[in-house]
């Protein structure tokens, strides 16, 4: 009889994380400076934590409606109208999820069938690819690079659209590149959606982490694509709430009804105290965000100027998120070799570009959400090891 203890194809095909590998290698250096993790360096603001604790103490310890508590859906609808120009009925157009990660997975299982094609940016946040594999669909990469400031524009996307294309995912500001899409770029993407009638997810967790006066607009603010667009967002990066696991999807009523059915099968609901904390973040967290963005902005200037001085690096000045994605072809090595070489020579831990898909080759990712002093020290070590251009 054939053995039955064979794991699923999804499990067998899952790719090991290229970032995890760097973590393991870094363990041998006690003075390592880790610039890999996509995690805010700040603690969650105290008033947000307090709102969660209050929820627990008030006995909010049961399941909530699948779509999330009304207080949070009302808060999200208020935020979307005020900040994004998106009209959302809290009872029809919203579902609260366990972060953007589960929002994306939920959207994937609701929209995509095996064999369908999903277009994402290359280089990409690795989980997109992992999730597309989990629904047995095919990843199609829209390749972007530093020459075009990593912009996944309509003219990059359109040639990739086939009869099998079911979904496009855009992500601005982008992980791993920090690249952004301007309003004009979004308008052209909306035209594609109208022309080809394809679902599109706008994954916006870095929406507020923007610099140089740039303001991120939402695709869903453009009229005429309501039947196709899903806006996904999260509290993780904006409010330093990665561990709270709260995000949401805004979409039309038909999509939301179906998301709710599958959400029940997946996680049923998000813990209520965390949802209450998220509502607090929306109503009273804006000052905290401003402070964090100012801090990240200083780090961004430090790292971009610093890297561009050091031999081997060429770094685009990103307008959003908290990542830089410098071109390291000057090292004459693969991205993995370069990341390991940098680690060995300087004990600075970075993520090799190929951890973000095949189009990440030739780059490394550095997260600058950590302490200013750590970034300064990392740059000093790299300057000493590789020398400066001028």
Ligand X SMILES: Cc1ncc(COP(=O)(O)O)c(C=O)c1O
Contact call for residues 204 and 212 (beta carbons, < 8 A): no
| Out of 22, 51, 69, 100, the residue judged to bind ligand X by CB under 6 A | 100
Write down the least CB distance from residue 237 to ligand X, Å: 7
The residues in 23-42 that bind ligand X, with binding defined as CB under 6 A, are: 38
Cβ proximity to ligand X: between 339 and 367 the closer is 367
Number of helices (H), then strands (E), belonging to the chain: the values are: 13, 12
Contact call for residues 356 and 365 (beta carbons, < 8 A): yes
d(C-alpha 179, C-alpha 100), whole Å: 19
The residues in 119-138 that bind ligand X, with binding defined as CB under 6 A, are: 125
Write down the least CB distance from residue 345 to ligand X, Å: 28
Cβ proximity to ligand X: between 171 and 327 the closer is 171
* Other Cβ atoms closer than 10 A to 287: 9
Write down the least CB distance from residue 244 to ligand X, Å: 9
Using the rule CB under 6 A, is 353 a contact of ligand X?
no
Cβ proximity to ligand X: between 356 and 386 the closer is 356
Cβ proximity to ligand X: between 125 and 325 the closer is 125
d(C-alpha 2, C-alpha 155), whole Å: 50
The DSSP call for residue 367 is: E
The residues in 136-175 that bind ligand X, with binding defined as CB under 6 A, are: 171, 175
- Please, which residues bridge with residue 234 across strands? 247
Write down the least CB distance from residue 228 to ligand X, Å: 19
Cβ proximity to ligand X: between 238 and 346 the closer is 238
Write down the least CB distance from residue 103 to ligand X, Å: 7
d(C-alpha 13, C-alpha 319), whole Å: 35
| Out of 36, 66, 101, 370, the residue judged to bind ligand X by CB under 6 A | 101
d(C-alpha 162, C-alpha 118), whole Å: 10
Q: Which stretch binds ligand X (CB under 6 A): 98-106, 297-305, 346-354, 356-364?
A: 98-106
d(C-alpha 200, C-alpha 177), whole Å: 20
Residues that contact ligand X, how many (by CB under 6 A): 13
d(C-alpha 300, C-alpha 303), whole Å: 5
- Residues whose CB is less than 8 angstroms from the CB of residue 42 and which lie 6 or more positions away in sequence, other chains included: 240, 292, 295
- Residues whose CB is less than 8 angstroms from the CB of residue 110 and which lie 6 or more positions away in sequence, other chains included: 255, 258, 259, 262
Using the rule CB under 6 A, is 326 a contact of ligand X?
no
Write down the least CB distance from residue 66 to ligand X, Å: 18
Q: Which stretch binds ligand X (CB under 6 A): 9-17, 47-55, 96-104, 370-378?
A: 96-104
- Sheet with 229-234: strands ordered across: 94-97, 247-250, 229-234, 199-203, 165-170, 117-122, 138-143
Write down the least CB distance from residue 29 to ligand X, Å: 25
| Contact code string over 201-240 relative to ligand X, x by CB under 6 A | --x-x----------------------------x-x----
What is the DSSP secondary-structure string of 306-332? Answer: HHHHBTT-B----SBTTEE--B-GGG-
Q: Which stretch binds ligand X (CB under 6 A): 68-76, 93-101, 212-220, 382-390?
A: 93-101
Write down the least CB distance from residue 176 to ligand X, Å: 8
d(C-alpha 120, C-alpha 117), whole Å: 10
d(C-alpha 278, C-alpha 44), whole Å: 11
Write down the least CB distance from residue 199 to ligand X, Å: 17
Please give the residue whose beta carbon sits closest to ligand X in the complex. Answer: 99
Binding site for ligand X (CB under 6 A): 38, 99-101, 125, 171, 175, 203, 205, 234, 236, 242, 247
């Amino acid at each position: 009889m054939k053995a039955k203890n064979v794991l699923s194809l999804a499990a067998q095909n899952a790719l090991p994380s290229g970032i995890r590998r760097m973590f393991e290698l870094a363990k041998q250096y006690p003075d390592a400076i880790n610039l890999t993790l996509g995690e805010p360096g700040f603690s969650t603001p105290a008033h947000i934590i307090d709102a969660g604790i209050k929820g627990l103490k008030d006995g909010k310890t049961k399941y909530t409606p699948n779509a999330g508590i009304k207080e949070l859906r009302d808060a999200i609808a208020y935020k979307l109208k005020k900040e994004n120009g998106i009209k959302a009925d809290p009872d029809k157009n919203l579902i609260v999820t366990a972060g953007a990660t589960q929002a994306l997975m939920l959207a994937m299982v609701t929209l995509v069938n095996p064999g369908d094609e999903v277009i994402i940016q290359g280089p990409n946040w690795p989980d997109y690819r992992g999730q597309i594999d989990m629904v047995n669909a095919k990843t199609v990469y829209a390749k972007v690079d530093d020459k075009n400031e990593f912009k996944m524009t309509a003219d990059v996307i359109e040639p990739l659209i086939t009869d099998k294309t079911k979904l496009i995912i855009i992500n601005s500001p982008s992980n791993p590149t920090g690249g952004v899409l301007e309003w004009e770029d979004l308008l052209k993407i909306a035209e594609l959606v109208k022309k080809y009638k394809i679902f599109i997810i706008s994954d916006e967790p870095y929406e507020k982490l923007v610099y140089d006066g740039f303001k991120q607009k939402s695709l869903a603010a453009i009229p005429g694509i309501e039947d196709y667009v899903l806006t996904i967002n999260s509290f993780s990066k904006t409010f330093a709430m990665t561990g709270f696991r709260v995000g949401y999807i805004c979409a039309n009523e038909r999509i939301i009804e179906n998301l709710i059915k599958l959400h029940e099968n997946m996680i049923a609901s998000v813990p209520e105290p965390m949802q209450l904390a998220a509502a607090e973040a929306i109503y009273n967290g804006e000052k905290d965000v401003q402070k964090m963005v100012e801090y990240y902005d200083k780090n961004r200037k430090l790292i971009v100027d610093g890297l561009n001085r050091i031999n081997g690096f060429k770094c685009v000045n990103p307008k959003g998120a908290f990542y830089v994605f410098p071109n390291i072809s000057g090292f004459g090595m693969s991205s993995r070799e370069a990341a390991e070489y940098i680690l060995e020579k300087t004990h600075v831990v970075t993520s090799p570009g190929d951890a973000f898909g095949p189009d990440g080759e030739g780059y490394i990712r550095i997260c600058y959400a950590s302490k200013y002093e750590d970034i300064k020290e990392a740059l000093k070590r790299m300057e000493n090891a590789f020398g400066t251009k001028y």
